[in-house]
Amino acid sequence: MGDPKARAGCAKSFLVVVNAAAVVLSLAAIIFGFVILYSDVTIALVSSFPQWILYVIIVFNGFVFFLSILGLIAGCGASKAAVVVFVVFSLLTLLVQIIAVVFAMLYANGIAVTDSLNDFAVDLQTQLETTLIDMAVDEPAEWLATVETFDCCGVDFEANYEWPNYAGYNATTFIDALQVDHVNPQPDGSLVSCAAGREELYEILALYPTLNATALQVAEDAPVIGSTEEPYFCKDKISKRAQEWTTYIAAVIGVLLFIQVISTTAACYLLCGATVSQGGFKQDKEGNAGDLAGFQSGGNDMAY
């Protein structure tokens, strides 16, 4: 590996292999997202998530596809400008990914960070609640898939007080729409019923028509909806699963970051470390070219 040409060759090969794989995987993810969004194909786990997540997946993988094409061009040594753009975007992507992973790990472990990030987390929770309520009201089939995927009932306690914002519902029918019974058996063969939770909610909303601190405390003390062993509501269940998955997701992202760091380093080496004669983009020094010419001339004289 002491030969500069060998190093440049390894850098190019690594860029080609990694980015070719990224092109294939990102394109597959884009196609998968469009198929789920605009066809009749349904997958229980994927269908349980709101559509905006699929749009995020498509946009993110579109960016990965673009970046990988630039990486392929860099690996083939076809364009110095493509290498520069690849390096710039790779560094920006690395920074964003590192910040996202750190924030996710802190949030998953309940560690407070800056006020702005904490507010952002609260906004995400609020958006999740709104999305789940809209799904339950407007897309009952998708909502049923969600509650069965996460083995949960309803959205959260506060959501049951949102019924005045949805035409055609009263408190009882709104509770029924959110707390739907599962129709598919669980792994142990049983069917999950939300009936006990509905009964508790009927009673609480009848006693406390307006959401207040007392109602929240009563719900927290209720044996079913306030259970601390396993979350009853889907919002809590999804948050719990997200926290459980965070470590694994962070590990996968860590591996991807490591690969991306090597790719960026390889591109930087081709850009700034390897000369044109060695297979890179850095201009050869005139002195080196002259020395090489003199050496070749001397060799010819000796041969003569």
Per residue, the 3-state secondary structure of the chain, as one string, reads: CCCHHHHHHHHHHHHHHHHHHHHHHHHHHHHHHHHHHHCCCCCHHHHCCCHHHHHHHHHHHHHHHHHHHHHHHHHHCCCHHHHHHHHHHHHHHHHHHHHHHHHHHHHHCCCCCCHHHHHHHHHHHHHHHHHHHHHHHHCHHHHHHHHHHHCCCCCCCHHHHHHHHCCCCCHHHHHHHHCCCCCCCCCCCCCCCCHHHHHHHHHHHHHCCCCCHHHHHHHHHCCCCCCCCCCCCHHHHHHHHHHHHHHHHHHHHHHHHHHHHHHHHHHHHHHHHCEHHHCCCECCCHHHHHHHHHHHHHHHHHHC
What is the reported pLDDT for 172?
94
Q: How far apart are CA 281 and CA 78, in angstroms?
A: 10
Q: Which residue has the higher pLDDT, 106 or 25?
A: 25
What is the reported pLDDT for 302?
37
Q: Which residue has the higher pLDDT, 165 or 110?
A: 165
Residue with tokens 């591996």: 255
Mean pLDDT of 125-139: 84
Split at pLDDT 50, 70, 90, the class of 208 is very high
Q: How far is CA 1 from the centre of its chain?
A: 37
Structure confidence by residue, pLDDT tens digits, 212-244: 999 999 999 999 999 877 889 988 888 777 777
Percent of the chain past pLDDT 90, that is, above it, reads: 26
What is the reported pLDDT for 171?
93
At residue 47, does pLDDT exceed 60?
Answer: no
Split at pLDDT 50, 70, 90, the class of 82 is confident
What is the reported pLDDT for 104?
66
Instruction: Assess contact for 146 and 154: CB atoms under 8 A.
Output: no
Q: Write down the mean pLDDT value for the chain.
A: 81
What is the reported pLDDT for 141?
85
Mean pLDDT of 154-180: 93
Q: How many CB atoms lie within 10 A of CB 67?
A: 22
Mean pLDDT of 113-127: 66
At residue 252, does pLDDT exceed 60?
Answer: yes
What is the reported pLDDT for 246?
73
At residue 285, does pLDDT exceed 90?
Answer: no
Q: What is the pTM of this model?
A: 0.61
Q: Which residue has the higher pLDDT, 28 or 111?
A: 28
Q: Which residue has the higher pLDDT, 151 or 41?
A: 151
What is the reported pLDDT for 293?
42
What is the reported pLDDT for 118?
63
Identify which of 15, 49, 95, 7 has the alpha carbon closest to the alpha carbon of residue 267: 15
Q: How far apart are CA 118 and CA 99, in angstroms?
A: 14
Q: Which residue has the higher pLDDT, 50 or 224?
A: 224
